[in-house]
Amino acid sequence: MTTSAAPFGFSPSRKRGMNPNAIGTNEYPIASGYAANIFTGDLVRINAGNLQTVTDTNEVVQGVFMGCRYVENGEQKFKSYFPSGTSVTDAFGIVCDDPNQVFEVQADASVTAGDLFGSQNFGVVLGAGSTFTGKSGHTIDASTRTSGIAMVRALDSVNEPGNQVAVATERAFLKLNARLVQHTDNFFTTIVSVPTTITAYLLNG
């Protein structure tokens, strides 16, 4: 089976380690009139206390957007995406922000078995989503594979028919299970010096 490009952003699939497979979400405020669409499956960040879509692949992310709620003309509304420029009150985005969450996401080009199982990190193509479906257009940027720091890490391929990494026609736009490397709760840009006495205790204790 030949696969095709059909981006859907990041979709929660499972948890890492011994964590229960429950999707952990929190709500974050969205500024009224925010001038960008935020789609379900988009990577999002916090800026000046408000939720925004990620605009640069070097950014540290808060998690993945799962929809929103707001009050418009006195009526509570729930939507799968936040429409750009929406002037409302009490706007909140629902975000899957657990750093142990694993997500399904499609690659934009061929990925091989050597890229999987945590051996490679990748950047993300921040593609435009659909105002019809409300779904994200974000995909893994296969050309950015690196053993260094990047936005996401490929863990394995999604186990479904027509998505086998060993088949050339199927790995062209492979669906992957991936985790967020540059997540606000597990990504640090500052190295803190540890006193020698504490280091010795950690090594010997």
Identify whether 97 is part of a domain: yes
Identify whether 193 is part of a domain: no
In the numeric block, which tokens belong to residue 16? 């890492």
Identify whether 1 is part of a domain: no
Please write the tens of the pLDDT for every residue from 125-170: 999 999 999 999 999 999 999 988 899 999 999 999 999 888 888 8
pLDDT cut 70: percent of the chain above it: 87
Of 100, 36, 33, 21, the residue nearest 63 (C-alpha)? 100
What pLDDT does 188 receive?
53
Integer Rg of the chain from CA: 19
In the numeric block, which tokens belong to residue 168? 């050339």
What pLDDT does 3 receive?
74
Identify whether 186 is part of a domain: no
Sequence-distant (6+) residues with CB within 8 A of 115 are 122, 142, 145, 154
Query: What is the span of the domain harbouring residue 44?
Result: 11-180
What pLDDT does 172 receive?
86
What pLDDT does 118 receive?
84
In the numeric block, which tokens belong to residue 172? 């062209």
Identify whether 198 is part of a domain: no
Identify whether 141 is part of a domain: yes
Domain count, the chain: 1
User: What's the predicted TM-score (pTM) here?
Assistant: 0.86
Q: Report the distance separating Cα 24 and Cα 169, nearest Å.
A: 35
Identify whether 199 is part of a domain: no
Residues of the chain with pLDDT below 70 are 1-2, 17-22, 187-205
